[in-house]
Amino acid sequence: MELAVDATPDTRILNGSEKSVRQKLFCPIFLSLLAALCSSAGCPAQIRKSCGDLIYLRLTAATALQGTLVQVQVSSTKALPQDVSAEWDSKSSPIWHVEGHSKTLHGMVGVDLEKPPGRYDYKISWKDSIGQQKSCTAPLIVRAGKFPTEHLKVEKQFVQPDPEQQKRAEDDSKKMRAIYDTITPEPLWKGPFQLPLKEVVTGGNFGRRRILNGVARSPHAGVDFPAPTGTPVFAPQAGKVVLAEDLYYSGNTVVIDHGFGIYTLYAHLSQLTANPGDSVEAGTEIGKVGATGRVTGPHLHWGLTIDRARVNALQIVNREP
Ligand SMILES: [Zn+2]
């Protein structure tokens, strides 16, 4: 979450054509339904499965790159059972109704930028009208993302912190883990997510593997937007501010909880204009761009975490989970 402006903007919002090109290039040899459906025309762009009991399961992608997100819809021609639950990769995954729509449930799967490539099942479970336990599974194939490696020179204290700095950095990451381990069981957003800056629309560096002063470090988990110090930063959607303070590596940092395990993070700010506990709307100013923490110049570092998975934040822009 720490580094700075780097040359090439790298917008990775997958549009339909880009997706289909990638999927044509990759038909996995898995002995799965997916492989069976792949043909010279390409792999299916999404999964839609009839689960019985008039229930349908849809995933917006059959294959997903590391660091991307996949939207899920469970729908029925009649009202859905009350107790539909979902899991991905054998872990519970939030699923929710949008107000007024009892026949559809929505979910979102975040594929962590270091998730090992392979097949991970998405499964829904429910009890039918006579109380029998039912389930339905769809395979989601994770593929390796193509992330460049960069070599950077930063101040020595950020690669070899002294014991006091080390302690501070560890306390910060404990705090962040505790935040991401908390899943607010309701949606706090209303509508599609927006970009956090008004004028700057492209950001890059997501997923880069980094060598700092010759030492390999964790990959870059956010999107960097180059912008001058003082540029206002806005909440991309409604939520609750759960952190607004100075952290060792990420400098002045704001984290917004949007509900259901969806968090956005804003780092290296010159100024914080939000406080922990604040409820924000889409467009509320939360701080100003700066160069605090481990940086090589002023920029906004924007992070998105979905159920602890580090995802390219540009993936959520214009989407309504
Ligand atoms: Zn960054």
Domain extent at residue 61: 46-143
Q: Domain check: are 282 and 265 in the same one? A: yes
Given 101, 126, 143, the domain boundary residue is 143
Q: Domain check: are 85 and 196 in the same one? A: no
Q: Grade residue 218 by pLDDT with cuts at 50, 70 and 90.
A: confident
pTM of the model: 0.83
Question: Ligand 1 centre and the CA of 267: distance in Å?
Answer: 8
Q: Is 149 helix (H, G, I), strand (E, B) or coil?
A: strand
Q: Which residue has the higher pLDDT, 124 or 214?
A: 124
Mean pLDDT computed over 208-215: 84
Question: Ligand 1 centre and the CA of 233: distance in Å?
Answer: 15
Mean pLDDT computed over 161-187: 92
Any idea what the CATH number is for the domain that residue 258 is in? 2.70.70.10
Question: Ligand 1 centre and the CA of 43: distance in Å?
Answer: 33
Question: Ligand 1 centre and the CA of 281: distance in Å?
Answer: 24
Domain count, the chain: 2
Question: Ligand 1 centre and the CA of 74: distance in Å?
Answer: 35
Question: Ligand 1 centre and the CA of 50: distance in Å?
Answer: 42
Quick check: is 201 in a domain? yes
Question: Ligand 1 centre and the CA of 222: distance in Å?
Answer: 5
Q: Which residues pair with 152 in a beta bridge?
A: 212
Given 87, 108, 143, the domain boundary residue is 143
Is-contact 78 103, C-beta < 8 A?
yes
Instruction: Give the lowest-confidence range in 90-104, 147-161, 227-241, 281-295.
Output: 147-161
Question: Ligand 1 centre and the CA of 207: distance in Å?
Answer: 10
Q: Is 108 helix (H, G, I), strand (E, B) or coil?
A: strand
Residue 13 in this model has a pLDDT that exceeds 70: no
Question: Ligand 1 centre and the CA of 155: distance in Å?
Answer: 16
- In b/e form, how buried is each residue of 167-200, taking b as 16+ CB within 10 angstroms? eebeebeeebeeebeeebeebbbeeebbbbbeeb
**Residue 77: count of CB within 10 angstroms of its CB:** 8
Q: Domain check: are 193 and 274 in the same one? A: yes
Mean pLDDT computed over 260-268: 97
Q: Quote the CA–CA distance of 55 and 76 in Å, as a whole number.
A: 5
Mean pLDDT computed over 82-88: 94
Question: Ligand 1 centre and the CA of 229: distance in Å?
Answer: 15
Quick check: is 75 in a domain? yes
pLDDT of the residue at 78: 87
Given 143, 177, 204, the domain boundary residue is 143
pLDDT for 91-132, tens place per residue? 999 999 877 777 999 999 999 999 999 999 999 999 988 999
Quick check: is 321 in a domain? no
Quick check: is 7 in a domain? no
Question: Ligand 1 centre and the CA of 266: distance in Å?
Answer: 9
Quick check: is 182 in a domain? yes
Q: Which residues pair with 125 in a beta bridge?
A: 85, 135
Q: Domain check: are 292 and 162 in the same one? A: yes
Q: Domain check: are 96 and 212 in the same one? A: no
Q: Quote the CA–CA distance of 146 and 159 in Å, as a whole number.
A: 25
pLDDT for 42-79, tens place per residue? 444 789 999 988 999 999 999 999 999 999 999 998 88
Question: Ligand 1 centre and the CA of 303: distance in Å?
Answer: 8
DSSP assignment of 201-268, as one string?
Answer: ---B-TT-EEEETTEEE----EEEEE--TT-EEE-SS-EEEEEEEEETTTEEEEEEEEETTEEEEEEE
Q: Grade residue 155 by pLDDT with cuts at 50, 70 and 90.
A: confident
β-pairing verdict for 149-152 and 209-212:
parallel
Any idea what the CATH number is for the domain that residue 58 is in? 2.60.40.1930
Question: Ligand 1 centre and the CA of 242: distance in Å?
Answer: 20
Q: Domain check: are 51 and 113 in the same one? A: yes
